Chain A
């Protein structure tokens, strides 16, 4: 079926000028916020034990949403909540708003590993470990909860409208797995010669699949947003290409053409994947309201609307 290969893509016009830029948010700030949103959604998804396709769907919904909506009109926290909520329904792993809100609030609290350590209260003698396990740090009051929930629900409706209710998200994971199988690199082509050879390790290259998937998942938070510009089969082929190179697996000549990928496209995607995220090895710490700052070994990003506004103002005055 053609439907599993096609996914809604962004137009060049949508990518060149985002609504956030039009409303005065500089490109680097928007990119950082998008990266932070991916991190938050990924972390929340792992804590809630959601499958990766649900998490990836949420990230893609958020990326698509910000193609037509600006950050000031739909702040980051509620958009993260709403896209996770929506994707959990779309992928039949529905979650309660309460759980999502609790987890996101935890991730933004001082108890979270995403919280910058230098901002932790210094007065008490407790160790960092002890401080982080303090449950009062991430308690969500009933008032906060009600307010956030109504924001979550209205943002969900806004996401659906902004996407024209086309929530089709075709991810490259299944295709990548099928392609690997078709390439015959997963299982031994010939039966094992000695009984000791195979049973313990039925896969020829046990790490190949997980490396491919890791590349594909990493690519979600890449600043170039290739999930919005490339079809899933192209992403799958690029993921396999890099994983095969990492593990020294030899593939037939020009195998990517079998799946209708041009050499140029593959080359571009490989460069993007190798490029990694724009921050490099720097750590990104996330707070809800605070100051954007560079500290030793990383930087702090504050996602609250006011903090973003203050950062934009600061950049403008530079």
Chain B
């Protein structure tokens, strides 16, 4: 009997040792890289200093000749056109005579030059050295890898293309297209797409980000501070505003798709359901957005929808940042709707004109009395300021046409109230999960897969609304301050 636990212990230590050895090797490799980098940086600094000195001398020479009528120009960051100066000087000379002989052609127009990306084939996945697996989902496998040439650690997402009968899936095309177009400080940076030997081996290379917000929220002993929530919300809203002005809908915003680095920045990731939209909007698939973050118009079967569905998800995320748990945790579409109406109230025809004409609302019966209309956000979020509740209620407006836009939300007074948004640099850091081990399988439903949209029938029960504080005992009590109601 005693041998069995011992052997189990033994294997575990062996595994641990292997893991420790791997980690140690990795650390050493990192250290070596760092040393090398430092050495290189030193050399570069010396070179740069020399260059600067040289340039300074040149500038002095120029100024002493007094040819330049402009203040010394800023140093160009990019080496756009090496012959820029050469081209500029004759132009300057040309300008002088033309000003002399009349008002025509007085100014040589300064024309903008646009950069052009090159057309070049994909690099090979062999440029990267695999480190460890982070996460596996229905869409593909994400793993950590190191770029061999530069030593940078990246996230490598392998697309699942086996069993595709229609060639490269349109959803993956959209994912790559939209991720390339949505460049923003708070959108995960797509570095390149690399391929393996076989035609169905395609990998998306992105910056590696240490955490995802869902895991962080689950592991934090305390929820984020108000000032931190504000910073995170500003980042999320400005990323979303950029996407929406570029005609991109994300369609799967949720905390597990928001990555967070140790410098207080969140990055919107996983564009697997994203797509371009148009104005006026066309009928699109209703089976988008993870259930808990899905807006009421989608649940009611609207075929035409717009950016407001992302805003609803942001509202859910805002509430989750405060509560430390998802706001509406429905078990099915009907349950989700009833949870939404429980908190936000059953819409009246004035609140949301035309909602009764949506496909699924015809077959559903809703209890509608005075008691069931109007939202209960105030009592659900007792510690949130008035402006906070006002922002939340306009993000979670039932009528999509009355829902606030990302641009407007950024100007909301909530963000100007005290406490002010915390500076990114002041954010706490967290030990990385993805850096060492597999990211935990998330305890939340996953994004919908392609298929037919469900038809809803039945009655939406609002049992929870019988009493104001019903269901409060189910809530987790965190550390620190919390109001005791019982």
Give residues in A with beta carbon < 8 Å to B. Answer: 1-3, 5-11, 14, 64, 67-68, 85-86, 89-90, 92, 94, 97, 152-154, 156-158, 160-168, 228, 231, 233, 254, 257, 260-262
Contacts and interface: CB of A to CB of B under 8 A. Distances in A.
Contacts of B192: 164
Contact of A165 (B122, B170, B245, B276): B122
Interface stretch (B144-152, B174-182, B305-313, B421-429): B174-182
A164 B122 contact: yes
Contact of B114 (A6, A67, A152, A166): A6
B86 interface: no
Interface stretch (B11-19, B193-201, B230-238, B378-386): B193-201
B116 A231 contact: yes
Interface string B91-122: 00000000000000000010111111111111
A68 B122 CA distance: 11
A164 B176 CA distance: 11
Given A64-B119, A90-B173, A5 B167 contact: no
B195 A161 contact: yes
A8 B118 contact: yes
A187 B246 CA distance: 28
A3 B122 CA distance: 21
B180 A166 contact: yes
B481 interface: no
14 contacts: A6-B114, A6-B115, A9-B117, A89-B170, A89-B173, A90-B173, A161-B121, A161-B195, A161-B199, A164-B120, A164-B192, A166-B180, A257-B109, A261-B111
Closest 9 CB pairs of A and B: A165-B193, A9-B116, A157-B199, A257-B109, A260-B111, A260-B112, A153-B167, A8-B117, A156-B167
Given A165-B176, A257-B109, A261-B111, 16 more contacts: A6-B114, A68-B120, A68-B121, A85-B167, A97-B167, A161-B122, A161-B199, A164-B122, A164-B123, A164-B193, A165-B122, A166-B117, A166-B119, A166-B180, A168-B117, A168-B180
A154 B111 CA distance: 43
Nearest to A2: B114
B111 A11 contact: no
Contacts of B177: 90, 167-168
Contacts of B114: 2, 5-6, 231, 233, 260
Nearest to A160: B168
A161 B168 CA distance: 11
Contacts of A8: 116-119
Contacts of B275: 92
B357 to A, nearest CB: 26
Contacts of A158: 199
A1 to B, nearest CB: 6
A7 B116 contact: yes
A90 B275 CA distance: 10
A54 B113 CA distance: 27
B107 to A, nearest CB: 10
Among B116, B119, B170, B176, find the residue whose CB has the most chain A CB atoms closer than 10 A. B119
A149 B276 CA distance: 28
A85 B115 CA distance: 29
A64 B122 CA distance: 14
B84 to A, nearest CB: 15
Given A257-B109, A260-B111, A1 B245 contact: yes
A262 B113 CA distance: 10
B224 to A, nearest CB: 32
Given A164-B122, A166-B180, A168-B180, A154 B199 contact: yes
Contacts of A261: 111
B129 to A, nearest CB: 21
A94 B111 CA distance: 39
Contacts of A165: 122, 176, 193, 202
A6 B116 contact: yes
B345 to A, nearest CB: 37
A269 B115 CA distance: 19
Nearest to A85: B167
Contact of A9 (B119, B170, B195): B119
Contacts of A260: 111-114
A84 to B, nearest CB: 12
A168 B181 contact: yes
A245 B166 CA distance: 46
A15 B308 CA distance: 45
Contacts of A166: 117, 119, 180
Interface string B195-225: 1000110100000000000000000000000
Contacts of B199: 154, 157-158, 161
A89 B173 CA distance: 8
Contacts of B246: 1, 3
Interface in B113-142: 113-123
A93 to B, nearest CB: 11
A152 B167 contact: yes
Nearest to A157: B199
A237 to B, nearest CB: 12
A109 B130 CA distance: 51
B137 to A, nearest CB: 20
B168 A14 contact: no
Nearest to B190: A165
Contacts of B118: 8-9, 11
B173 A162 contact: no
Contacts of A162: 121
Nearest to A91: B276
A158 B112 CA distance: 35
A108 B181 CA distance: 38
Interface string B259-286: 0000000000000000110000000000
A14 B328 CA distance: 55
